[in-house]
Amino acid sequence: MARIQDIVRVCKSKNAGPFELTIDLVFDDRALYDKVRASGIVTEALFAQLYGVRAEQVLLTPYDAAMAIKATFPRLVPAGGVGDTDVYGCQQHAPLLEVEIPI
């Protein structure tokens, strides 16, 4: 097993407008990217569990040409709204870092 933080080149989050977040996982090794895709771990259900949204609200987009996986889903609090602790959405990738992938 390997943690996502140990196998991706980039794991970042950002706003996709004031009401959504997007998280990118970018790999620099094709075989590793393919293993992660085939593992069935990085799914809409994973993001739903980690971020408190419904799986149906998660748009998961693998982009094979860039060896990347993108997930977009609603923010629980709009950017800049009362209770928002990360107006730019740039610290929201942290829950993914410890997710283990069988490789």
Reported as a single tens digit per residue, the pLDDT across 14-57 is 999 999 999 999 999 999 999 999 999 999 999 999 999 999 99
DSSP 32: H
Residue ranges of domains in the chain: 2-94
Averaged pLDDT, 57-82: 97
Per-residue pLDDT band at 61 (split at 50, 70, 90) = very high
The pTM for the full model equals 0.94
Which amino acid, one-letter code, is at 39?
S
Cα–Cα–Cα angle for 13, 15, 18, nearest 5°?
155
The fold of the 2-94 domain, in CATH, is Alpha-Beta Plaits (3.30.70)
Q: 103 pLDDT exceeds 90?
A: no
